[in-house]
Chains A and B, each alone.
Chain A
Amino acid sequence: MADSDDGTDAGPPRLRLRVTRSAADRTVIALAGRFDAVEALAVRERLARADITGAGHLVFDLADVTFLDSAGLAVLVRTRQDRMRTGGSVSLIRPVSEDSMRVLRLTQFDQIFTMVDGRARGTT
């Protein structure tokens, strides 16, 4: 996982992750690339840092996620469960990729999570 927005690392394509605090208690985690078992642990570790654990309301921006597997889904589930225990929330910005969106549909994540249209990105 590249914890930046340049994405210029050599080697296999890495998931890019960028964290943006868009309001006092709302943080957007933008992911781009493959959100799979290769990347899931690094994402979990990034989500455990204070800037994210201190935010009550998280938005995963999945618009640029091109491949999503069950390990990526597990990260979303765990994060949502953690937030629900403390009165927070997790919502998802829809992937543009039909392949990624299909995974959310067939697991019914699109019905359980609050789904946000990508055009709302950047809203503060």
Chain B
Amino acid sequence: MIVISTTIAKYVLGGYFMVSKVVAYIAIAVIITAIVVGVAVYYLVPRPAPPAAPPPAKPPAKPAPPAKELIIYHWWTAGGEREAIDAVFKIFKEKIPGVKISENPIAGGAGAVMKPVIWQLLAAGTPPDTFQVHAGGELKEYVDAGYLEPVDDVWSELGLEKVIPGTLQAMCKFGGHYYAVPINVHRSNVLWYNPTVFKKLGIIEKFGDPRTWDLETLLKVCKYIKENAPKVLGKTVYPIAVATRHKWPLTHLFEVLLALHGGPEIYVKFWTGKFKYKDPKDPVWKAVRDVLRAIGIMAKEGYFNPDHPELTWDQAAAKVMKGECAMYIHGDWVAGYYMAVKAKYGEEWSAAPFPKKIFVCLSDCFNLPKKAPHRDIAIEWLRVVGSKEAQEKFNVIKGSIPARVDVKPKYPDPYRPETAEDWVKSTLVPSAVHGGLSKEAFVTAMHDILTYMISSIEMGTDVDKAVDYAVTQIAVAIERTGLVDFWKGYTIDYFITKR
């Protein structure tokens, strides 16, 4: 056997070397020609550009694959999330008996890992039937690229326009068409605090309800906690918890403080680039500077927990629960975390909308890609997502509130009834950090600019200097990320539901 194989190898290799010169030249010529021709054909032969206008609601040909399958991508894999989406799957299966759900859950908070996968599938022309996406700017990027079909029919059939507030409608509607059905709503602007620490230091008696604090009061509270905690509690308590290992929680803090300090108009102007960003005297810059300076002071004075670069958002939440930090400005999925770890409400955690009068919202939704292999099933899925029953079941478990205002579940926790009430009564703006308002390129740039700013301040850079540098960097980022063009044709009022 060995002899035979050696002989063959010898023969082949010998043969190869014998013909090698001529054949090698031919082979190289073939390779080069193939590459050149391939590239030329690929780029020189004109191809139809992806259509800018929304396509007709129904594709001409019906998809061939056999019915009753739903290929779905989502990133709900953590405890609580998993059970929530399973509840919706159950309803869906009851509605369409025998349907096979091909799930592709891709772990990673906020879809950090899933999104690149989806982009590749869409670019390759092999979309799933539906996938999870944040309503707002993030959704618009898919719409602009021509990957999605409008779902106006589902909206009108379910009467969603009557039960979903204007801001969230705007976050799903581009160029006059709806492109997704929202399943839930989270609030981004919440101040989480440790009630024991607050009570012992008498924060609320001294500074009033956190729901009414302004930026200055927040800084005063930080100062007070920093100075008095060692005396009263006998240990250092960092006033504000933050986590920058994944960077975005710091941008989240910035977002909430900007809404608090600048109000809804300035907030929306900043995140959509709708202001004179080349003019340093623009009022938006003043508000942004104030907020950056406040964050800078927090970094300088040691109001943040010093280990923030090694923490993720949930670890920062844990610090408040344990009383190592006093406050945490973060979204309301923190409530889901506290409930999951069975922290005691009123003792280990409590929450206040911050500020109460504004509701910075984000929403997960599902959509209908063009060329979805099981289009009819996908539309059925969207009907379920928008239904009262699914919204109630999903949100009670997930820790969010329903997008529909006519769904009023009984919440097991003390926090959410207030959120649900504010969803109907407060001024609404979309969250930029969570895909609602800005362009992801700009938000990503902000992550780096802000973490760089506090890191340099913590290393000893002067606050004003660091803020100046951050402001110039932000202006460059607005320019380079194409933020202004992205929101061309939309006014700031489009995103704000004034109440």
A binds B: no
Which residues of A line the B interface, CB within 8 A?
none
Interface residues of B (CB under 8 A from A): none
